[in-house]
Structure 1
Amino acid sequence: MPLRLELRPFEQVMINGVVITNTESRAALLIHNQAQILPGRMVMQEEVTVSPVRRLYFTGQSLFMHWLDEGGRSERYQSFEGQATQLLLLSVDPDFRTTIKEAVSAFAAGNGFHALKRLREMVVAETQAAQAAGTPLPEAFTDGRNQALRKPSDDR
């Protein structure tokens, strides 16, 4: 049975590393084959990878998008695992450490989407903590819609 994706106006989705942008009306896509799919709201742009947590997420995002490429998967996974190990060595927060371990385990088990969901929670928490401390970080994620194409009246 195919996966059905419902897209809002101007919503973006990344499928196997390709960014797809919907037009001005709602649309549905049916995905019939195995694919790595990441909603636009979970896509991080490289220019906002200003912390070790964000760099780990971005590396995980790259690993997830290229998971079906067996040739590059090993190298990307090693990079991800190395960054995760460094964060584990630096962290004293048990919840933080648990989340990192869960993400590494999820990728090792082939469940990269779950790993990214957990890492996204860390990025959001880090952004909120930085804001509360008076040292705001740039927003890591958007609402998943292409802002350049949207008109103010497109908020439906």
Structure 2
Amino acid sequence: MALKLTLKPQERIVVNGCVMRNSSRRHVMVVETHGDIIRGHDLLEEHDAATPVAQVYFLIQTALTNAEIRDKLIPVCQSKLAELCTVFGAERRALVFEAANFVSTRDYYKALRALRPLMKREKEIFAAMPPAGAMLEAAE
């Protein structure tokens, strides 16, 4: 099955580890064979991987974009996903299992897609927490 991508002007895309940028016009691209593909807006920068779910997302993203170290990363990803299973309730835990299954079948993009709702929830939780300094002040 072909993958049809509509690229916005100047949008980045990574195909089999090669970073490409679209020109100044919108283009449609059809990928007819399997490839490791991720759009620029789905990429997480390493410095943004500061939370547990984001760290796992970044590891899986690295496995997707860097085939040379993929075999070393997969056990680490699976271990981190197992740790996440203890954090979330049943509904969200299913997304962790889904991501782990996709990693096992080497479908890294779908694993990332399964983690996106968890990253959103994690961001909401951390946003609701008071700053660390405020907790220390309240304790005094």
2:49/2:55 contact within 8 Å kept = yes
How many residues align? The count is: 131
Q: Structure 1: any 5+ residue segments left out of the alignment?
A: 136-156
Does residue 82 of the first structure (1) align with residue 83 of the second (2)? no
User: What is aligned with 1:149?
Assistant: none
User: What is aligned with 1:19?
Assistant: 19
User: What is aligned with 1:34?
Assistant: 34
1:42/1:120 contact within 8 Å kept = no
CA distance in 2: counterparts of 1:46 and 1:15, whole angstroms: 19
User: What is aligned with 1:72?
Assistant: 69
Q: Which has the higher contact order (CA 8 A, sep 6+)?
A: 1
TM superposition shift of 1:134: 5.0
1:64/1:112 contact within 8 Å kept = yes
User: What is aligned with 1:121?
Assistant: 117
Partner secondary structure for residue 84 of structure 2: helix
The one-letter code sitting in structure 2 at the alignment partner of 1:21 is: R
TM superposition shift of 1:42: 1.0
CA distance in 1: counterparts of 2:2 and 2:82, whole angstroms: 37
Partner secondary structure for residue 14 of structure 1: strand
Q: Structure 2: any 5+ residue segments left out of the alignment?
A: 132-140
TM-score for the superposition, normalised by structure 2: 0.80
CA distance in 2: counterparts of 1:74 and 1:44, whole angstroms: 20
The one-letter code sitting in structure 1 at the alignment partner of 2:70 is: R
Partner secondary structure for residue 103 of structure 2: helix
Give the structure with the larger helix fraction. Answer: 2
TM-score for the superposition, normalised by structure 1: 0.73
| Superposition RMSD in Å | 2.1
Q: Give CA deviations for 1:47-69 in whole Å, capped at 9, x if unaligned.
A: 10111111000011112224xx4
If you compute each CA radius of gyration, which structure gives the higher value, 1 or 2? Answer: 2
CA distance in 2: counterparts of 1:123 and 1:15, whole angstroms: 24
1:15/1:35 contact within 8 Å kept = yes
Overall identity of the aligned pairs, in %: 23
